[in-house]
Amino acid sequence: MPSASYDSARQIYADLGVDVESALTRAGDLPISLHCWQGDDVGGFENLGAAASGGGIAAIGNYPGKARTPKELRQDIEQALALLPGAHRLNLHASYAETGGNSVERNALTPHHFQGWIDWCRAQKIGLDFNPTFFAHRLADDGWTLSHADPKIRQFWIEHGIACRKIGAEMGRQLGSPTVTNVWIPDGSKDIPADRKAPRERLEQSLDAIFKDAIEPALHLDAVESKLFGLGSESYVVGSHEFYLGYAITRQKIYCLDAGHFHPTESIADKVSSILQFVPRLLLHVSRGVRWDSDHVVILDDATRALMDELVRGNFLDRVHLGMDFFDASINRIAAWVIGARATRQAFLLALLQPNDRLRRLEREGDLTARLAVIEEAKTLPFHAVWTEFCQRHDVPSGLAWLDEVKRYENQVLSLRK
């Protein structure tokens, strides 16, 4: 039964023209794809017990209890999901293949190597998204993959991309929900390159080869992801924003905007309405950039709120896929999932609770004074009571009660991992 504080909050929002019950329903329907790589520091399971090459990816910290096997990682994700309200999916990298102890090259991966993940997602009643892994491999040690000058190495990665599209399609077929398979590569130069053109020409050709065969959209959707710079590609990134935006528009692919892949003072919220004029859909990786590092745990900050505001105000929810992308090994890894995903859901609910119809009307009437006044007034409305009600309806802890569950799990499970 709703609390008195919720009833009071609902009336206060109603006075501004906001239907709280409708907002609660919509807030739970948008799936957030949890990234598997937060649970094991982007290690993967191709070569259990072996150190992987970095390829521009690094998780900072050494908090005890990280997942060491697929079983442990799935167990940890289950614990996180139990503390998260709303719909979710799982976002999986190809390096999390289960090969049964056999050495399987990435260009030889098949759906069989991910059947354990598919079966687990079916049991959890969630969808599955996928990513080719163009890093942490001997053929990516120099930081180049799909734009590599060596045609043999380039062909290997093309074959990996093709294999991953087939795997993604099979995931979508078995789970009855289209898999978004997202291509991100680390290719670039630490220092000033002499030739910026040729690698981009090679990347365009490689992507065309990967995407050559059409796949039914009901099973699988293609996405491409840009980045401003990365470790080892500080001066030049082949797959820049401009490159992939042009590619996505001309090939009508999903374009992935990662909140941490742009300048720290640059918000991706303003890009949403512009890009969706020209591409069919967007994939949004919700992350948090701090100075040069792009993968901090998401919090309820202005950037996250602005992004969710834009999705709601632009009525873009049916054209957007939402996923988390960060990895922090300095804190409890399950807590990182929960903090990030709950903050994202809170930002979405807050966006739904804005008096958007009233704001649009004021804007049309040219009453910019009232528009600003209403925006500011909405910031102090009793959101906490609504969020608490939302959590209770989804049978997850509200407030900081979830942290007690994480600590219990840490004491009983994580602390036993050596």
**Angle made by CA atoms 238, 231, 294, in degrees to the nearest 5:** 95
Q: The whole model's pTM is what? A: 0.95
Residue 50 — pLDDT band, cuts 50, 70, 90? Answer: very low
Please state the φ and ψ torsions of residue 26, each to the nearest 5 degrees: -65, -35
Q: What is the pLDDT of residue 53?
A: 45
Residue 107 — pLDDT band, cuts 50, 70, 90? Answer: very high
Catalytic choice (225, 309, 310, 328): 225
**Tens-place pLDDT, residues 32-43:** 999 999 999 999
Residue 261 annotated as catalytic: yes
Catalytic choice (295, 309, 328, 389): 295
Residue 418 annotated as catalytic: no
**Tens-place pLDDT, residues 177-234:** 999 999 999 999 999 999 999 999 999 999 999 999 999 999 999 999 999 988 889 9
Residue 93 annotated as catalytic: no
Residue 142 annotated as catalytic: no
pLDDT > 70 fraction of the chain, expressed in percent and rounded = 98
Residue 325 annotated as catalytic: yes
Q: What is the pLDDT of residue 48?
A: 53
Catalytic choice (72, 159, 234, 293): 293
Residue 295 annotated as catalytic: yes
Catalytic choice (261, 271, 296, 321): 261
Q: Is residue 241 a contact partner of residue 226, using CB atoms and an 8 Å limit?
A: yes
Between 137 and 50, the higher pLDDT residue = 137
CA-to-CA distance for 342 and 345, rounded, in angstroms? 5
Residue 129 annotated as catalytic: no
Hey, which CATH number is domain 32-347, 3.40.1280.10, 3.40.120.10, 3.20.20.150, 3.40.50.2000? 3.20.20.150
Residue 225 annotated as catalytic: yes
20-29 and 4-15 helices, crossing angle to 10°: 100
Q: Is 414 a residue whose pLDDT tops 90?
A: yes
**Tens-place pLDDT, residues 396-406:** 999 999 999 99
Catalytic choice (129, 187, 222, 325): 325
CA distances from 273 to 21, 221, 282, 356, 369 (A): 27, 20, 10, 16, 24
Residue 55 — pLDDT band, cuts 50, 70, 90? Answer: low
| Domain assignments of the chain as residue spans, ordered by start | 32-347
Residue 227 annotated as catalytic: yes
**Tens-place pLDDT, residues 354-370:** 999 999 999 999 999 99
Catalytic choice (144, 184, 337, 402): 184
Q: What is the pLDDT of residue 52?
A: 45
Catalytic choice (137, 220, 253, 285): 285
Catalytic choice (93, 148, 227, 271): 227
Q: Which 8-state DSSP code applies to residue 53?
A: P
Please state the φ and ψ torsions of residue 382, each to the nearest 5 degrees: -75, 70
Q: Is 304 a residue whose pLDDT tops 80?
A: yes
Q: What is the pLDDT of residue 58?
A: 79
